[in-house]
Amino acid sequence: YTILSKVHSDRNVYPSAGVLFVHVLEREYFKGEFPPYPKPGEVSNDPITFNTNLMGYPDRPGWLRYIQRTPYSDGVLYGSPTVENVGKPTIIEITAYNRRTFETARHNLIINIMSAEDFPLPYQAEFFIRNMNVEEMLASEVLGDFLGAVKNVWQPERLNAINITSALDRGGRVPLPINDMKEGVYVMVGADVPFSSCLREVENPQNQLRCSQEMEPVITCDKKFRTQFHIDWCKISLVDNTKQVSTFQEVIRGEGILPDGGEYKPPSDSLKSRDYYSDFLITLAVPSAIALVLFLILAYVMCCRREGVEKRNMQTPDIQLVHHSAIQKSTKELRDMSKNREMAWPLSTLPVFHPVTGELLPALRADSLENSSL
């Protein structure tokens, strides 16, 4: 059910719709098409990258993905073909780039999608494996071990790998480069029998409560996966297509004749004149009148309602007014007197020492200010 093929020129492959398709682009094949190293006998290990696109288009079909981790690893085309492309050959152009010599080699991969009689399988389960990257999971031996473990738990007659998706394509974060952390992979498988009791344990209320508290649920068959695959049972998805009710509603088609609505009457070409005077009054005159009234009210309150000095003096006792008047007169007389007073230049009254003999000189007086020299 999983198709693995190597790179060949104009290779034809025949995947089935709805079944996982894997195509490996091997670097060893393309090394023979690039010139060797200058020294004879030297083993070439050129970095080679691949570019894949649908013939005539810049990108691949929506169902087909491509991954190559480093230029020194093989590239992988993988995906699940759709039923819409059955019978239509899909030509994928594969271009290999030699990063040492900058030469290229091109091959065509012709994908002929076949219809599967037993697809779609009614019971589908999607597992999230935390300790795997997508290119590791696409390896035939690893995928075979996982399908064997699922078959041992599920016991179906037919079991297919439907699709593989990286956790980064589902909005996951890039893992930290410590402790060899993996990005995680979603693997969807389909079977022809109902889900086993082990898979149904995820739907128990106790396990749902543990998942809501970010705790690992208790699954009896987890030990059959734990040796190689670490499954996040809180992210498992079980889909039973036999219980899904179709929401398609049959379209009732009529005779194709519209009901008679009379003759069509287009609007007149001549427009009537419109008077905008009332609009002017509403938009400009009315707000201006309201603003003027408010301004007059404010001016009356601020200017015409003042108490004034006379009203204040009438409400003040006479003795308080006399004291206040006397204080003002005295303050004014003192200020006038201080302006008319003649003041001499301030003199120091501290003793002064002679700079040569060191004798103590008498303090300067106002009468000897003009004749003194210091």
pLDDT value of position 5: 42
In a domain, 250, yes or no: no
Angle, alpha carbons 53-59-65 (nearest 5°): 80
Cα gap 50→278, rounded to integer Å: 75
pLDDT value of position 49: 92
In a domain, 179, yes or no: yes
Task: State the CB neighbour count (10 A cutoff) for residue 163.
Answer: 20
Co-location of 128 and 108 in the same domain: no
Tell me the per-residue pLDDT of 250-268, one tens digit each, with 9 for 90 and over: 666 666 666 777 777 777 7
Among 1-5, 174-178, 210-214, 283-287, the minimum mean pLDDT is found in 1-5
- Are residues 128 and 186 in contact, defined by beta-carbon separation less than 8 angstroms? yes
Q: Which amino acid is residue 276, in one-letter code?
A: Y
Reply yes or no on whether the pLDDT at 220 is more than 80: yes
Tell me the per-residue pLDDT of 12-70, one tens digit each, with 9 for 90 and over: 888 888 889 999 988 888 877 777 665 665 666 888 999 999 998 988 998 999 999 89
Reply yes or no on whether the pLDDT at 284 is more than 50: yes
In a domain, 287, yes or no: no
In a domain, 36, yes or no: yes
In a domain, 274, yes or no: no
- CA 298, chain centre distance (Å): 55
Burial of 54 (0-12, 13-18, 19+ CB in 10 A): middle
Cα gap 20→32, rounded to integer Å: 30
Q: Which residues pair with 90 in a beta bridge?
A: 111
pLDDT value of position 29: 81
User: pLDDT class for 189, splitting at 50, 70, 90?
Assistant: very high
H helix intervals, 228-350 = 277-280, 286-299, 308-315, 318-340
Tell me the per-residue pLDDT of 307-341, one tens digit each, with 9 for 90 and over: 666 777 777 788 887 888 899 999 988 888 887 76
| CA-wise closest residue to 160 among 190, 138, 186, 187 | 190
Helix (H) or strand (E) holding 346: none
Co-location of 109 and 132 in the same domain: no
Co-location of 218 and 170 in the same domain: yes
Residue 107 structure tokens = 């091959």
Co-location of 128 and 236 in the same domain: yes
Tell me the per-residue pLDDT of 71-88, one tens digit each, with 9 for 90 and over: 999 999 999 888 888 888
Among 222-226, 255-259, 275-279, 325-329, the minimum mean pLDDT is found in 255-259
Co-location of 75 and 146 in the same domain: no
Reply yes or no on whether the pLDDT at 204 is more than 70: yes
- Are residues 35 and 46 in contact, defined by beta-carbon separation less than 8 angstroms? no
Reply yes or no on whether the pLDDT at 290 is more than 90: yes
Cα gap 220→200, rounded to integer Å: 11
Residues present in the chain in total: 374
332 SS3 class: helix
Is the pLDDT higher at 96 or at 307? 96
Co-location of 18 and 91 in the same domain: yes
In order of 17, 184, 251, the CA distances from 166 in angstroms are: 20, 6, 40
Average pLDDT, the chain: 81
Q: What is the pTM of this model?
A: 0.59
pLDDT value of position 146: 92
pLDDT value of position 6: 42
Residues sharing a CB contact under 8 Å with residue 228, sequence separation 6 or more, in sequence order: 145, 146, 149
pLDDT value of position 374: 42
Cα gap 88→82, rounded to integer Å: 11
Among 174-178, 284-288, 290-294, the minimum mean pLDDT is found in 174-178
Q: What's the DSSP call for residue 344?
A: P
Residue 255 structure tokens = 């005779």
CATH of the domain at 82: 2.60.40.10
User: pLDDT class for 355, splitting at 50, 70, 90?
Assistant: low
Domain encompassing residue 86: 6-113
User: pLDDT class for 346, splitting at 50, 70, 90?
Assistant: low
Co-location of 232 and 208 in the same domain: yes
Q: Which amino acid is residue 18, in one-letter code?
A: G
Cα gap 199→219, rounded to integer Å: 8
In a domain, 283, yes or no: no
Which of 113, 147, 164 delimits the end of a domain?
A: 113
Cα gap 97→120, rounded to integer Å: 38
